[in-house]
Amino acid sequence: MKHIVILGSTGSIGASTLDIVSRFPDHFAILGLTAGTNDEKLEQQIRTFHPRVVALSSETAAQRLRARLTNHPVEILSGEKGLCTVASAPDSDLVISAIVGGSGLMPTMAAIRAGRAVALANKEPMVMAGQMMQEEAHKQGKRIFPIDSEHSAVFQSLEGHRKQDVRRIMLTASGGPFWNWSVDQMKHVTPDQALQHPNWKMGAKITIDSATMMNKGLEVIEARWLFDVPPNQIEMVIHRESIIHSLVEYCDGSVIAQLGFPDMRTPIAYALNYPERISLEPPLLDLGKIGNLTFYPSDFEKFPCSKLAYEALEGGGGLPATLNAANEIAVQAFLNNEIAFLDISRLIRDTMNAYTPHALTTIEDALEIDRWAREKASVLVKAFTK
């Protein structure tokens, strides 16, 4: 029996993870859950999976939950301290890190410092402090397993091969809903249009990131630290069908890829039960019926967010954390109809241009840069207001 903690259990990744757990009650048990403010959905999960301890980021939401569960044997915590307590809970075998955005950094780091194996679904902590996270994981003798479909595909394609033989990692991208749109057309994109991803069902923030292709840029930074591969060996390729999730090319010209229907339960299950696979009974992949798999080069001119990510990775230090924080502010401003779609990349670039290089040696450094960048980007939003 493997005991699981899920950070961000009420989101799409958390819900998919719990779906798998419910199918295999003899394999997995839920030890802890965390959520933001959705106490009603967390209550349903508590009553179904009976965790020992839970936490909400909001104390108000935690109080509401305590009032409804006075006779239920669960400890209910709140705030960042509560999230970190659940993340480092004793007896857990694996922590699924699925808190959206930079707020997932401290709980994820708490799990690593406590010596827990971590399966990472939110890329932002690795973008903000990837090197420090990996160093701590190595110190604890634990692995960080990727759940993102692209990074899981790379992870699976690297299995059984020597890292020194890798020539390139190729991360595939669907191109989002606007791949075939002109820049002029994208000037008038609405949040509702941007939230219509052609292949994946995801949360709002990651769906907008996919539309701007910032999602793929963040994945490049994440891959740099997950797999210890130089940035110049990580490439992006547009693959509209989302069947090939990523590829690894080796020095002899061999290319290993992982294929499958776009379903996040597949990479989640692989991380949950590694190195063994579990039967999810998905539909068979009928390549003859699919017919064509198409590929296109990246377009950094039409989608500059991914280019900004490469620039942040090259600049190093706190620049990736600056990029990530500014993107979170810009995406929320767009969803709030405060800025236009094309202003997202402009706001991020202006924030990066305002950044003064700082040494990045501790998690506290990363958090301070994150705080500064959020404040700066929030001020800049006013200049872009439609």
Which domains does the chain possess? 2-146 (3.40.50.720), 151-263+284-384 (1.10.1740.10)
Cβ neighbour number for residue 262 with a 10 Å cutoff? 16
At residue 358, the pLDDT reads: 80
Q: d(Cα 59, Cα 41) in Å, to the nearest integer?
A: 16
pTM over 0.85: yes
Which residue has tokens 């040494």? 359
Q: What is the distance, to the nearest Å, from the Cα of residue 177 to the centroid of all Cα atoms in its chain?
A: 19
Higher pLDDT, 256 or 195: 256
Residue 287 has pLDDT above 90, yes or no: yes
Amino acid identity for residue 36 in this structure: G
Q: Name the percent of the chain in helix, strand, coil, to the closest 5.
A: 50, 15, 35
- 201 pLDDT band, cuts 50/70/90, is low
| 3-state SS assignment for residue 238 | strand
At residue 2, the pLDDT reads: 96
pLDDT tens digit sequence for 301-350: 999 999 999 999 999 999 999 999 999 999 999 999 999 999 999 999 99
DSSP 54-85: EEES-HHHHHHHHHH-TTS--EEEEHHHHHHH
Average pLDDT estimate for 31-42: 96
Q: d(Cα 295, Cα 211) in Å, to the nearest integer?
A: 17
- Cβ neighbors of 338 (< 8 A, separation 6 or more) are 381, 384, 385, 386
- The CA-to-CA distance between both ends of the chain, in Å, stands at 54
Average pLDDT estimate for 270-290: 91
- Cβ neighbors of 242 (< 8 A, separation 6 or more) are 172, 174, 199, 200, 262
pLDDT tens digit sequence for 175-192: 989 999 999 999 999 999
- 129 pLDDT band, cuts 50/70/90, is very high
Mean pLDDT rounded to a whole number for the chain:
94
- Long-range contacts of 17-20, Cβ-Cβ distance < 8 Å, separation of 24 or more: 17/96, 17/98, 17/268, 17/272, 18/45, 18/48, 18/49, 19/265, 20/265, 20/268, 20/269, 20/272, 20/278, 20/280
Q: d(Cα 4, Cα 160) in Å, to the nearest integer?
A: 27
- Cβ neighbors of 280 (< 8 A, separation 6 or more) are 20, 23, 265, 266, 269
At residue 384, the pLDDT reads: 78
Average pLDDT estimate for 30-49: 97
Average pLDDT estimate for 347-375: 93
At residue 36, the pLDDT reads: 94
Q: d(Cα 12, Cα 202) in Å, to the nearest integer?
A: 6
Range list of β-strands (E), the chain? 2-7, 28-35, 53-56, 75-78, 94-97, 117-120, 144-146, 166-173, 234-238, 244-250, 255-259, 296-297
Average pLDDT estimate for 188-201: 83
Average pLDDT estimate for 285-302: 94
Which residue has tokens 């705030």? 79
At residue 383, the pLDDT reads: 84
Average pLDDT estimate for 357-374: 91
* Token pair of 232 as six digits: 């110049």
Residue 26 has pLDDT above 60, yes or no: yes
| 3-state SS assignment for residue 370 | helix
- 248 pLDDT band, cuts 50/70/90, is very high
Sheet holding 94-97, edge to edge: 75-78, 53-56, 28-35, 2-7, 94-97, 117-120, 144-146
- 205 pLDDT band, cuts 50/70/90, is confident
At residue 357, the pLDDT reads: 87
At residue 386, the pLDDT reads: 54
Q: What are residue 257's phi and psi, to 5 degrees? A: -130, 160
Q: d(Cα 301, Cα 303) in Å, to the nearest integer?
A: 6
